[in-house]
Amino acid sequence: MKYSGWPESGELVVGKIDEIEDFGVFVDLQEYEDKRGLAHISEVASGWIKNVRDHVSEGQIAVCKVLDVDEDAQQIDLSIKDVNDHQRSEKIQEWKNEQKADNWMELAFGEDIDGDAYTAIANDLLSVHPTLYEAFKESAIHGAEAIDGSGLNDDDIEAIVDTARENVSVPYVNVTGYVDLENPTASGVDGVRSALSAGEGNGEVPDEVDLDVTYVGAPEYRIQVQAPNYKTAEAELEASAQRAITAIENEGGTGSFHRERHTDDE
């Protein structure tokens, strides 16, 4: 998605160097429609510069800092030297992420989506998330609720969520805990099985969470949770354990939760 407006002073922008002169370099801004800036030779690199081409080349992708914008004169002054390595790396990654999001928009709504429709959907997503990439990433993790309040209709939301879940690589975390379940009552093993089913969520675990309960050794059972972040993972782990404990207690048995596996000599 290319912005139709102007960058702001102090903003970091991605550009392609498309012309080199003795006095500086012209940069085609990749994130803005029909916008071109100039980095004066004094802003290309620190120190005295004998030959600009020793520092940049045509076709090079560069991260620049916007020094000044004069809309009346159609002029954007840039600096390449004022961007450090960390800023450059972060900005390039952000730009690449937005290129991915552009591709996902086409996958969701078709390559022939017209500009006005694209912009309308994009603006709705940007009303609830800072970038399109973030909107798709959150949709992959949390589903439709990630873009509630965006103003999009149900069909558009479904298209975004489906596309996100098919294409976005989401980092996950894993946590593990254990429950001891004992049932000396008449329901016996059946009561324990009911408690394990309760621990597994009975189909009520959120879509973005994988939860598995496995046998370790009587009376111990392992609960493993995979989720997008530790807060969610820990909450689901504790909820799973509590469901299992409540269920076994309802059968007349006992249950307890612990984080470390019991060893044979304990």
pLDDT one-digit tens code per residue, 207-255: 788 999 998 988 999 999 998 888 888 999 999 999 999 999 999 999 9
Fold classification of 87-167 (topology level): DNA polymerase; domain 1 (1.10.150)
pTM of the model: 0.65
Architecture of the domain whose range is 173-258:
2-Layer Sandwich (3.30)
Sequence ranges of the domains in the chain: 12-82, 87-167, 173-258
Mean pLDDT of the 121-146 span: 91
CA distances from 244 to 162, 214, 223, 241, 258 (A): 32, 13, 10, 5, 13
Q: Buried b / exposed e across 59-95, counting CB within 10 Å, b at 16+? A: eeebbbbbbebeeeeeebbbbbbbbeeeebeebeebb
Question: Residue 1's pLDDT is what?
Answer: 64
Query: Which of residues 17 and 260 earns the better pLDDT score?
Result: 17
Q: What is the pLDDT of residues 84-101, one digit of tens each?
A: 999 999 999 999 999 999
Q: Which of 97, 146, 95 is nearest to 124 (CA)?
A: 146
Q: Which of 139, 231, 224, 136 is nearest to 177 (CA)?
A: 224
Question: Measured in whole angstroms, how far is the alpha carbon of residue 19 from the centre of its chain?
Answer: 35
In one letter, which amino acid is 96? Answer: K
* 173-182 sheet: strands from edge to edge: 210-217, 220-227, 173-182, 254-258
Q: How confident is the model at residue 263 (pLDDT cuts 50, 70, 90)?
A: low
Query: Which of residues 18 and 259 earns the better pLDDT score?
Result: 18
CATH number of the structural domain 12-82: 2.40.50.140
CA distance 222 to 227: 16
